Amino acid sequence: MIHSALRQEIDRRVTLKELRDALERPIPPTERDEVVSLRRWFTTRYPSPEARLAYVRQVYARWQSTILRSDGA
């Protein structure tokens, strides 16, 4: 269960300045390297567009079922 203060922070609306600052900040080399590594893994594991789409559909369906279960439906 997520603590209410954490939920409020997660669900809050960010200001335009916060959004701009986040989008315009330099990406640290370690973060860039991690993204490049994840992309390399993903495109190796799922080499074709069809395989990538099948993976995304599977994950989306799993996420949807998790959302439905957590809502009590």
The answer for residues whose C-beta is within 8 angstroms of residue 55's C-beta and 6 or more apart is: 46
Angle made by CA atoms 19, 20, 26, in degrees to the nearest 5: 110
Q: What are phi and psi of 35, to 5 degrees?
A: -65, -45
Q: Per residue of the chain (73 residues), what is the pLDDT tens digit?
A: 678 888 899 899 999 999 999 999 999 999 999 999 999 999 999 999 999 999 999 999 999 988 877 665 4
